Amino acid sequence: MKITSEVWGRTPEGKEIHRYTLENSKGCFVRLCDVGAAIVSIGVPDRDGKVADVVLGYPDPLSYFADGPCSGKVPGRFANRIAKGTFSLDGKVYTLPINNGPNHLHGGPQGFQNQVWESRVCGDAVEFLYFSADGEAGYPGNLKAVAHYEWGEDNALKLTLTAETDAPTVVNLTNHVYFNLNGEGSGTVLDHQLQLNASVYLPTDETLIPLGEAEPVAGTPMDFLEPKVIGKDIKEDFPALKYGKGYDNCWMIDGWEAGQLQSAAILHSPESGRTLEVLTTQPAVQIYTGNWLAGCPRAKCGRSYFDYEGVAIECQKCPDTPNKPEFPSAVLRPGEVYKEAIIFAFSV
């Protein structure tokens, strides 16, 4: 594995932003950067062997700060939404910044995705570290988070997310990368086929906070148990689709067991022949069809993306887990190690 690094830019305060390229012997590559431990490019071949970048992103590293789509980055301390920006832990109530309607999203406006992480080459991998101080964005405990990326000869990108704390806290980490298997900037993903290993999903209120119990996907537009074109049902008169202007929902992964790697999703483009399988140890997957991409910073393709030009497959714990004891716990205590894996495996 060939790994190179460069200074890609600097923050207004003068801090260096590094970009890393991991390239295998086939010439397929992944590019990562310090801002939010982001995936900024993945170059893989189509059915004819032509390599294209299938990840949405920006040519200017400063565009990765505070972008609406959270493109390619690791949000935290808690990915997804927490209702009304509040939760209680061990009898104490914590208040978080509100930045998504009435709710807290992705750790707030100064979340992990908008920070410059420390970074290093670690053997055949690249590793990013972020230290979140006690009280940052209202969360308790000093937290050390690490994102460890490995790129294989088999065109699989493995992300291992770990965290440790010195006081009880809540943690939910993922990567918010958007895929377009025809190549970024090539147009809509509504013609991609999606399959989810999930027979239930989480209905939400109009602010996208889960109501509680999961419901079967059978007989609804949320059914992706068999491969289905993303755009087939996206305009249906169905609460989940109306609330989010498309899919922005969480599915519970069938057969989940803590620490066990499980297939979560398969994305396929009939046009390019590329297929992406996403595997994870996480209990749930949020599918977001890029419903609000319009107006994002100028992208690698030379313009801002339009809505539905990318799909995010976010393996994570459930939204609002700190307020939903029925969901798999997001609590991390001193002496414990949060450890989750996500694999993005490409093929044709």
Q: Which structure tokens are listed for 159?
A: 């992300």
pLDDT at position 347, please? Answer: 98
CATH number, domain of 239, equals: 2.70.98.10
Kindly give the parts of the chain with pLDDT less than 70.
none
pLDDT at position 253, please? Answer: 98
How far apart are the C-alpha atoms of 267 and 346, rounded to whole Å? 10
Question: Could you tell me the CA-to-CA distances from 200 to 96, 215, 295 in Å, in that order?
Answer: 29, 5, 33
Structurally, how many domains does the chain consist of? Answer: 1
pLDDT at position 314, please? Answer: 98
pTM over 0.85: yes
pLDDT at position 98, please? Answer: 98
How far apart are the C-alpha atoms of 165 and 141, rounded to whole Å? 6
The whole domain housing 294 covers 2-347
pLDDT at position 213, please? Answer: 92
Residue whose token pair is 């990108």: 157
pLDDT at position 292, please? Answer: 97
Single out the catalytic residue among 127, 136, 184, 314. 314
How far apart are the C-alpha atoms of 116 and 66, rounded to whole Å? 12
**Cα 116 to chain center, whole Å?**
17
Helices (H), 143-257: 239-244
Please compute, for residue 79, the number of CA atoms within 13 A of its CA located in the half-sphere on the CB side.
25
104 belongs to the catalytic site: no
Closest CA to 217 of 266, 258, 253, 176: 253
pLDDT at position 74, please? Answer: 98
Single out the catalytic residue among 176, 184, 268, 309. 176
106 belongs to the catalytic site: no
pLDDT at position 313, please? Answer: 98
